[in-house]
Structures are given as C-alpha cells and as structure tokens.
Amino acid sequence: MNDMSLTNLNAGTTMVSAAAIEALAGRLRGRVLNATDAAYDGARTIWNAMIDRRPGLIVQCAGAADVVHAVRFAAENRLLVAVRGGGHNIAGNAVCDGGLMIDLTPMKSVRVDQTTKRAWVEPGATLADVDRETQAFRLAVPTGINSTTGIAGLTLGGGFGWITRKFGLTIDSLLSADVVTASGELVRASPTEHRDLFWALRGGGGNFGVVTAFEFALHELGPEVLSGLVVHPFEEAEGVLEAYRQALESAPDELTCWVVMRQAPPLPFLPAEWHGKEVLVLAMCYCGDLETGEKATAALRAIGKPIVDVVSPHSFVAWQQALDPLLAPGARNYWKSHDLIELSDPTIGILTEAIGQLPGPECEVFIGHLGGAAERVAAEETAFPQRSSHFVMNVHARWREAAMDEACIDWARRLFAAVKPHAAGTAYVNFMPADEIDRVEAAYGGNYGRLVEVKRRYDPQNLFRMNQNVAPLEARGAA
C-alpha cells in the first residue's frame, strides 16, 4: 500500500504514510480497504443510489477493538470520518469522499437472555437480525417497519414502528450502550454511567461516538400479530382519512395504523385492474390477543368500500418484512418529513392534491401514527423531543433514472412546503435528507442546547460530523 492523501476535517487533505496505514491494518481483526481492492465498491455502495462517494480508506470492523483503532487513527490524523451501520440512511452520511469510512456491517451479533428479557445487539445488525433472534423466545424490541433497516441508525434517531404505541420508542427500551468516543475511549453509557451521554444517544444521532453494542429491554410479543393492509380507491381518500382520524381517537395502545398513498404496486392480492392506479392503504398491526384485535380493528376496517382487506394473523417476523420490497436497495431516494400534532383538514386537502401529481410510480406519502406509550415519556427525558400524541408525515420520492431527479425532488419539496404551516416544527432526524442542515436545531426543539453541551464534552473537535450535525460550541457552523 502506498502513501495516501486523505480528506481531513478542514476540507483539505492530509498525507498519511503507507507505514501508518499498514500499522492500522495490523492491529485489526477486520480489514482495511482502498480503491484498488475488489471488495471496495461493494463496501462503499449504500441503499440510496443517489449517493456515490469514494472514501479514501474503509475500515471493516470485526469488533469494538477495531472501532477503537479506527477512531484513534482518524483522530490522530484529523481525518473526515463517516460511520456505516447496517441499514438505509437516506442522507447518505454513512459514506464520505476521500476520508475514512468506519464500516460496522460485519458486526451483526444479537444475543438474547430470555430469563432477564434483555438483548445485546451489535451495530451492523438489521431489524431482521434482531426480530428473528428475539422472536425465537417470543420477545421483541420496538423498532421500525422494514426488516432491512439498521438497528444502530434507527435507535440513535429515536426509532418507531408497528409496536411503538404499546412499548414506546426504540430508545425507551435502551438500557445501555458501549460507545467509542472521539478520543478513542470505549465507555459504557447508561442511567448510572456517563448519564449525559446516554441521554444524548437516545435520539441525538451519531454525533457523540460510535456505538459498538446496544443493550435492550425486551417485551413479550407474538409469535403472531393481527396485521395487514386495507386498500381503498384514492377517489375516496378524503373521506377515508377523516374517518381514519376519528377511529384513532379511541384506538388502544396495542393498535397501530399507518396510511400509505401511492400508485398500487402489482401486489398478488390486488385485482390487476388496480395495478398502477392511485390508492390509499391502511396498514395496521394489533400486538395483543388476536380475538381482541379483531374488535379493535373493526372501526378502521369498516371505513368506506375497500378494494381488498387482507388483515389476518401473521407471524411478527413476517409482518416486519411485508413492506421490504417497496424499499429494496438500488433506487434513487429523497425524503421530506414533518411532525404533525394533528391530521388537520387543510393537511388532508394538501396531501390528496399532491397524490394526484405523483412524479413516478414508486413515489409515495406515508403517515405514521404515534402516541400511546411513546407520549408518556417527558420531552426532556431523552434527546428525542416530540412526545406529544402526533403523526409523522414522510414524503418519499423514489425513482430509478437520474433524469427524474429534478421532478421528484421538486415534488417532495413542494409538498413539504405546503404542509409546513400545519406542522409541529420538530422532525424525525432519521427521515431528514442531507440538505436540511439548517433544520437540525429546530428538529430538537428545547433539547438542542443540552445536546450542544454534550457534544462539546465528548466531541469538541466535531470528529463525528457526518450526520444531522449538532456542532460543539467552539465549532458552531462547522461543515
């Protein structure tokens, strides 16, 4: 390996000797890759096909010690650092140009203690890895809605999905985390150790270090849940949304129902004449007794005159994977998101108009309903700030050809701008694209000041800046 010019924290370059790189490689159980290695392109390719960056070096970590060595190497040379977990990352911050990429995808271990109902999970694991291991014991961590999502990024941003209303956000089940800080020190953050760091990790993203292990409390669930889709013609969308909103007012914590609005994919249970036509889908999950779930979902399933109703018992593992095909890797993606305190009439009108202007067959809008256990945690208890019973709107532009970039991104931005007057002002950072740096402070609301202080303590040089960045006081405004 030759000497290399690598991107540094000052947006310039630093020459790093071949001897230093070889010494790093010699300390690892994993491996160091550069552009000449056959595995390089696979390692730098991520879910969002819009992101095409070329790190100078990639460290594929086999364990916590490898992460320590990689972080120390980056800090000593003041290199630009990106950290890759196991999942999606819409903003593309998992990869940098010219700097050091710390790749955690080989670290996929999930260990369950069914007696204490705890799980220890490494950061390269996906929700599929976590679900299969925990459901073997009829236990679960409240996570997201796609099994290909990475547990690390999901957790650090807050984490919500099908069973959040019953068991809280993902971070509400986090008991501790092993973290490599910017100084290269491995520490344990918990309610009794590095408490301020533990607070910040629960929603503050990857700003404060590299988590090498998560410890979660597990909850009894499954193996089956009552779940599935009710598909409506989009012509009935306004009435369906109004009835949906009303039905949720009396929904128990066990019941979650999200809305998806898009052109219908060729689902096997959907009549062929509906394929490619605009539809509104109610996607629901009841995580309790199945017979009780039939009664709890009755009001939602009685809305309007649906095309199909395929709600039935499914294994929780299978339900977590049901929407995976709609988020397969290889497409170009751009998201815009708002927190909504309520699903107001003006918002419904804006959404229905926007679906009539879809720029492509894979573009969609979804509305996730939260509340329940998630709202019974004080806003200041975790870095995640928005605990009021509310909805999350995600405008998901998704397409295949670069020629469609402008049309799809413009559609998402226009819809986002139209809904803004009716939104809460905060945002779920995991849904924020790379061009929303100026929105980070508002996203955290009243918790932002404390996050800045924690950042100043644990990462004063802003080594971990490839994220929705909370800059330390000394580096406010840094790239």
Q: Which residue type occupies 291?
A: E
Q: Are strands 255-263 and 364-369 parallel, antiparallel or unpaired?
A: antiparallel
Strands (E) across 169-223 are located at: 174-180, 186-189, 210-217, 219-220
Q: Return the percentage of the chain with pLDDT > 90, whole number.
A: 96
pLDDT at 475: 46
Burial class (CB in 10 A: 0-12, 13-18, 19+), 437: middle
Q: How many CB atoms lie within 10 A of CB 68?
A: 19
pLDDT of residue 479: 41
4-103: CATH architecture:
2-Layer Sandwich (3.30)
pLDDT-based confidence at 13, cuts 50/70/90?
A: very high
Q: Which two tokens stand for residue 36?
A: 């000449």
Q: Kindly state the average pLDDT of the residues 282-297.
A: 97
**Residue 114, pLDDT score:** 96
Tokens (6 digits) for 248? 């949720």
Task: Give the model's confidence band at 310: pLDDT under 50 very low, under 70 low, under 90 confident, else very high.
Answer: very high
Q: For residue 233, give both structure tokens.
A: 């013609």
**225-238 pLDDT tens trace:** 999 999 999 999 99
Strands (E), 105-156: 110-113, 118-121, 139-140
For the chain, the domains span 4-103, 110-221, 224-431
What band does 476 get if pLDDT is binned at 50, 70 and 90?
very low
Give the alpha-carbon dihedral of 192, 198, 202, 205, to 10 degrees. -170
Q: Kindly tell me if the per-residue pLDDT of 474 is higher than 90.
A: no
Mean pLDDT of 8-20: 97
Is 344:241 a contact under the CB 8 Å cutoff? no
Share the mean pLDDT of the chain.
96
Decide if domain 110-221 falls under CATH 3.30.465.10.
Answer: yes
**What tens digit of pLDDT does each residue of 354-373 get?**
999 999 999 999 999 999 99
Residue pLDDT, tens place only, 425-434: 999 999 999 9
Interior/surface letters 381-419, b for 16+ CB within 10 angstroms, e for the rest: ebbbbbbbbbbbbbbbbbbeeeebeeebbebbbebbebb
**pLDDT over threshold 90, residue 313:** yes
CATH number of 224-431, picked from 3.40.462.20, 1.10.3720.10, 2.40.110.10, 3.10.129.10: 3.40.462.20
Per-residue pLDDT band at 473 (split at 50, 70, 90): confident
* Residue 126: DSSP 8-state: B
